[in-house]
Chain A
Amino acid sequence: MGAQIRVYKRRIKTITATKKITKAMEMIAASRIVKAQRQVAASSPYADELTRAVTAVATGSNTKHPLTTEAENPTRAAVLLITSDRGLAGGYSSNAIKAADRLTERLRAEGKEVDSYIVGRKGLAYYGFRERTVAQSWTGFSDSPKYADAKAVATPLIESVLADSAEGGVDELHIVFTEFVSMMTQSPVDRRLLPLAISDKAAGGEGESKQPQAKPLYEFEPSAEGVLDALLPRYVESRIYNALLQAAASEHAARRRAMKSATDNAEDLIKSLTRLANAARQADITQEISEIVGGASALADANAGSD
Chain B
Amino acid sequence: MAEIHVEVVAADRSIWSGEAAMVIARTMSGDIGIMPSHEPVLGVLQSGPVTVRTSEGGTVVVAVHGGFLSFADNKLSILAEIAELAEEIDVARAERALERSRSESDAGAERRAEVRLAAAAGAH
Contacts and interface: CB of A to CB of B under 8 A. Distances in A.
Interface of A: 39, 42-43, 45-46, 49-50, 52-53, 56-57, 146-147, 151, 216-222, 226-227, 230-231, 234, 237-238, 241
Contact of B7 (A45, A231, A234): A45
A221 to B, nearest CB: 3
Given A221-B32, A230-B68, A42 B44 contact: no
A196 to B, nearest CB: 17
Given A219-B41, A227-B44, A238 B29 contact: no
Contacts of A227: 42-44, 68
Contacts of B11: 43, 46, 147, 237-238, 241
A131 to B, nearest CB: 37
B28 A226 contact: yes
Interface residues of B, number: 25
A74 to B, nearest CB: 29
Contacts of B12: 39, 42-43, 46, 146-147, 241
Report the 9 A-B pairs with minimum CB-CB distance, sorted nearest first.
Answer: A221-B43, A216-B40, A216-B72, A147-B11, A230-B44, A45-B9, A218-B42, A219-B41, A222-B29
B27 A221 contact: yes
A221 B27 CA distance: 7
A194 B22 CA distance: 37
B40 A221 contact: no
Contacts of A53: 42, 68, 70, 77, 79
A57 B11 CA distance: 20
9 contacts: A45-B9, A49-B77, A49-B79, A147-B12, A216-B72, A216-B73, A220-B43, A222-B28, A238-B11
A151 to B, nearest CB: 8
Interface of B: 7, 9-14, 27-29, 32, 39-44, 67-68, 70, 72-73, 77, 79, 81
Contacts of A241: 11-12
A39 B13 CA distance: 8
A151 B65 CA distance: 14
B70 A218 contact: yes
Contacts of A230: 44, 68
Contacts of B40: 216-219
Contacts of A151: 81
A146 B81 CA distance: 11
Say what secondary structure dominates the interface of chain A: helix
A52 B41 contact: no
Contacts of B13: 42-43
A54 to B, nearest CB: 10
Contact of A234 (B41, B43, B72, B81): B81
Given A221-B27, A222-B27, A49 B42 contact: no
Interface centre among B39, B42, B72 (most CB of A within 10 A): B42
A292 B73 CA distance: 98
Contacts of B68: 50, 53, 227, 230-231, 234
Nearest to B79: A49
Contact of B9 (A46, A56, A147, A216): A46
B43 A52 contact: no
Contacts of A218: 40-42, 70, 72
Contact of B14 (A45, A52, A220, A226): A45
Contact of A52 (B27, B32, B39, B70): B70
